[in-house]
Amino acid sequence: LSDRLTSVFSSLRAKGRLSDADIDATAREIRIALLEADVALPVVKDFVAHVKERARGAEVSQALNPAQQVVKIVNDELIAILGGETRRLRYAKNPPTVLMLAGLQGAGKTTLAGKLARWLREQGHVPLLVACDLQRPNAVQQLSVMAERAGAAVFAPEPGNGVGDPVEVARRSIEHATRQQHDVVIIDTAGRLGIDQELMRQAADIRDAVRPDEVLFVVDAMIGQDAVTTAQAFMDGVGFDGVVLTKLDGDARGGAALSVRHITGRPIMFASTGEKLEDFDAFHPDRMAGRILDMGDILTLIEQAQKTFDEAEAAKMASKLASGEGFTLDDFLEQMMMVRKMGPIKNLLGMMPGMGQMREQINQVDDKDLDRIAAIIRSMTPGERSEPKIIKGSRRERIARGSGVTVTEVNNLVIRFFEAQKMMKRMSQGMGIPGMPGGRR
């Protein structure tokens, strides 16, 4: 894919504006990338349409070419969608906190129960694992092994004592946890190979019996396109609050993450990356976005291009700021344009003593103001721009006429400029800008 995009890039390079054609060309590649990552088709369609919309409204970047800019928008959007509303586990006000795991057979629920137990123990909790999968003959045994590895207790029906009902086991486990002072209960449930009504009803019954604080939907990242139907079925049948993606150590590109998030609107909370208990982490939207797009090189390139551009501009501006001398109206205009455009420099200015005021001024200028200021300055002669002192009565009138503003506006601009210049001078006398080329002389 990277190769294909590189060719799109070179054909688009050197154009200054995001045209519909630019957007469409890149959007086609993005669409293919998402489908290759196994994002479900309806989700791809929605997502690409959304990104195109955003790209059309986007301000043109000077650091990136149009294709790179579209890819950046896609990446940012992916991170935003995958990471929207990420949240931690909600603990109950009155323990125990009850977590219930739901999902297809083989999704990784039982393994996850062990991982969660280990993770919770590390944070000082005392979890109890509850075996409510009574379908598979060795399921209880498997959970006990997990619990042992995690150093956690397990609650399971005694063989032959008549407790064969998972709903009853779940209910009793809560009483047990309260008695034994377990502050978190993790309920492992049965799954089937496909979605079936009995499975859903059982899970819903368990849910009703224990009223979990969190129902976590466990889904295998390798499931790909099927993620949509499975997630929808569990959403309708049981309902869930968060998602755990498993088997991310496999070669799946992780399109399931986007599909599930898009279809259910529920946050992806954890990621499972192996069979060992420590192969488990909070979900990282940026990593997943990169994995889905599979444009590592391009994303790195974009990051570098942006950084280099920012640094070059920052250095240029800093040297002018620092010198104070020779600060002209052209510089004034350029600075305003730049500071408005560039977040990082804005922050930098805010951190410099004496510059807070300047930043205030700049922040107050909106785009329309800026256009007017630009028009006024462009109506001046080069001599007037570099030596604004000479801008007096008749010159002011001429400039006002030329730029279609009132003489008062010209006056205000000149006053503003002198204020800024004074500030520059004060700064250059008082201090240099540490680490910046062209600093203190």
Residue 280 phi, psi dihedral angles, 5° rounding:
-160, 140
CB of 283 to ligand GDP, least distance (A): 13
Among residues 92, 107, 123, the alpha carbon closest in space to that of 282 is found at: 123
Asked if residue 326 belongs to a known ligand binding site, the reply is no
Contact between 107 and ligand GDP by CB under 6 A: the answer reads yes
Nearer to ligand GDP, 26 or 189 (CB): 189
CB of 279 to ligand GDP, least distance (A): 6
Integer Cα distance of 307 and 89 in angstroms: 36
115 binds, among ligand GDP, Mg ion, none (CB under 5 to 8 A by kind): none
Among 65, 69, 111, 202, binds ligand GDP (CB under 6 A): 111
Contact between 110 and Mg ion by CB under 5 A: the answer reads yes
Q: Total residues contacting ligand GDP (rule CB under 6 A)?
A: 17
Contact between 110 and ligand GDP by CB under 6 A: the answer reads yes
Nearer to ligand GDP, 95 or 274 (CB): 274
Nearer to ligand GDP, 279 or 286 (CB): 279
Integer Cα distance of 396 and 357 in angstroms: 27
Contact between 246 and ligand GDP by CB under 6 A: the answer reads yes
Among 191, 212, 224, 242, binds ligand GDP (CB under 6 A): 191
Q: Please, are residues 126 and 183 in contact by the beta-carbon 8 Å criterion? A: yes
Contact between 247 and ligand GDP by CB under 6 A: the answer reads yes
- Token readout for 11 is 């054909």
Among residues 382, 414, 383, the alpha carbon closest in space to that of 396 is found at: 414
Nearer to ligand GDP, 196 or 360 (CB): 196
- 10 Å Cβ neighbour count for 284? 16
For every residue of 191-227, DSSP letters joined together read --SS--HHHHHHHHHHHHHH--SEEEEEEEGGGGGGH
412 binds, among Mg ion, ligand GDP, none (CB under 5 to 8 A by kind): none
Contact between 106 and ligand GDP by CB under 6 A: the answer reads yes
Q: Which long-range contacts (CB under 8 A, 24 or more apart) does 386-394 make?
A: 386/326, 386/328, 386/329, 386/330, 387/328, 388/328, 388/329, 388/414, 388/417, 388/418
- Token readout for 408 is 């008062």
CA distances from 394 to 330, 399, 413 (A): 21, 9, 16
Nearer to Mg ion, 86 or 105 (CB): 105
- Token readout for 108 is 């990784």
CB of 110 to Mg ion, least distance (A): 3
Integer Cα distance of 396 and 150 in angstroms: 79
Asked if residue 330 belongs to a known ligand binding site, the reply is no
Among the residue ranges 86-94, 246-254, 299-307, 314-322, the one whose residues contact ligand GDP (CB under 6 A): 246-254
What is the x/- site pattern for ligand GDP, positions 361-400, by CB under 6 A? ----------------------------------------
Restricted to residues 58-97, the positions that interact with ligand GDP (CB under 6 A) are: none
Q: Total residues contacting Mg ion (rule CB under 5 A)?
A: 2
Asked if residue 45 belongs to a known ligand binding site, the reply is no
Nearer to ligand GDP, 131 or 376 (CB): 131
Asked if residue 189 belongs to a known ligand binding site, the reply is yes
- 10 Å Cβ neighbour count for 3? 6
Asked if residue 273 belongs to a known ligand binding site, the reply is no
Asked if residue 236 belongs to a known ligand binding site, the reply is no
Asked if residue 78 belongs to a known ligand binding site, the reply is no
Q: Please, are residues 230 and 104 in contact by the beta-carbon 8 Å criterion? A: yes
Asked if residue 246 belongs to a known ligand binding site, the reply is yes
Q: Which amino acid is at 225?
A: Q
Restricted to residues 249-288, the positions that interact with ligand GDP (CB under 6 A) are: 249, 272-275, 279
Integer Cα distance of 216 and 200 in angstroms: 14
Integer Cα distance of 289 and 216 in angstroms: 22
Q: Which residues are annotated as a binding site for GTP?
A: 103-110, 188-192, 246-249
**Which residues sit in the known binding site?**
103-110, 188-192, 246-249
The contact set with ligand GDP (CB under 6 A) reads 103, 105-111, 191, 246-247, 249, 272-275, 279
Question: Where on the chain is the footprint of Mg ion (CB under 5 A)?
Answer: 109-110
